[in-house]
Amino acid sequence: RAAARAFRPNPAFQAEDAIMELGVGEALTSFLDEAGVPAMVERTKIICPQSLMSVPEPMVRAKVMMHDGMEKYDEFVDNVSAYEVLTAEREEAETAKQEEADRKAREKEEAQAEKLRLKEEEAERKRKQKLEDEARRKAERRAAKIESQLISAGGQVLKRGLLGVLKRW
């Protein structure tokens, strides 16, 4: 019944009854018209093909193959399937995503390295400044010590000189 209902009805007979009455070599068929619409169901006689049950002779086989209308299938064509296209796109997307993640990680590492380099440069600059300040203080202390020694020595020379002159008078 389900099969009979699937056919487009034919007013000449009931498909449901016809299915029950079909004999050997008979069938109910429906073909598509030019627009692709199923035509009405028809009762059809099926003629069995004449064939051999053995291997054909090479000449007969070659002749049949030359005129079988399947020449377009003689050349192998490997079309790209939708699965292959989608797989390639997914792999490209994953590769791009991984490259982006790698680029970001590399930029982060470079930023950290730059930050560390700047920090080390600042520490080196401060160390040099500290050494320069220390050297300047030492130089100032040495200059002050030399100055005080000169003043002291100069004072003693003056004192001896003045006292020596005064004693002579």
Q: Which of 25, 27, 37, 24 is nearest to 4 (CA)?
A: 27
Pick the more confident residue, 37 or 156: 37
pLDDT band at residue 38 under the 50/70/90 scheme? confident
pLDDT in tens, 52-98: 778 888 998 888 888 877 777 778 888 889 999 999 999 999 999 99
In the block, tokens 């989608």 appear at 86
Q: Where are the domains of the chain?
A: 1-47, 83-140
pLDDT in tens, 101-139: 999 999 999 999 999 999 999 999 999 999 999 999 999
Beta-carbon-side half-sphere exposure of residue 64 (alpha carbons within 13 Å)? 7
Q: What is the pTM of this model?
A: 0.35
